[in-house]
Amino acid sequence: MRKGLRRDQRGFTLLELLVVIAILGLLIGLVAPAALRQLGSARTSVAKQSIERIASILDMYKLDVGSYPTSDQGLRALVERPTDVTNWNGPYVKGEVPVDPWNHPYVYRQPPSRAGHEFDLCSEGPSGTGGDQEICNQ
């Protein structure tokens, strides 16, 4: 011990600091990938819930207007009245047309391309290209 320094005034050695940094690096390396996977699955869950919510809004639109918006009208018909539509009681959605959790526009098709559905409402997933990442209404 140096003269004139009390025991509680000593600092950490370089070796002690390096050991702490190495331990923190290992912990971050183990925890970060798991946290990122959880974030990805959370966005997928939000996309599924949003699609179901928008589908119920489209059902309300159909009750008022008598049919679902066409593909040309798209989801914009929930925000602004289409020119050729009567009995529109909107806006059905406040603000702008909703986007998916990855900030891509939802894909809306009416008539649908999938059998057994009245319309297609899909998120093209994280990449925005669809394919096996596509999430659609049930």
The reported pTM is: 0.69
Using CA atoms, how far apart are residues 107 and 103, in angstroms rounded to an integer?
Answer: 12
Q: Please tell me whether residue 105 adopts helix, strand or coil conformation.
A: strand
Residue 40 has a CB neighbour count (10 Å cut-off) of 12
Is a pLDDT exceeding 70 seen at residue 8? no
Using CA atoms, how far apart are residues 123 and 125, in angstroms rounded to an integer?
Answer: 5
Is a pLDDT exceeding 80 seen at residue 109? yes
Q: Report pLDDT digits (tens) over 111-123.
A: 888 888 899 999 9
The dihedral built from the CA positions of residue 65, 66, 72 and 74, taken in this order, carries a sign that is positive
- Asked whether 103 and 96 are in contact (CB, 8 A), the reply is no
Q: Would you state the pLDDT for residue 131?
A: 74
* Residue listed under structure tokens 């000593």: 10
Is a pLDDT exceeding 70 seen at residue 7? no
Q: State both tokens at 81.
A: 């009245």
Q: Would you state the pLDDT for residue 16?
A: 87
Q: Report pLDDT digits (tens) over 9-63.
A: 677 788 888 999 999 988 888 887 777 777 667 888 889 999 999 999 999 999 9
Using CA atoms, how far apart are residues 132 and 119, in angstroms rounded to an integer?
Answer: 19
Query: By percentage, how much of the chain surpasses pLDDT 70?
Result: 90
Using CA atoms, how far apart are residues 14 and 12, in angstroms rounded to an integer?
Answer: 7
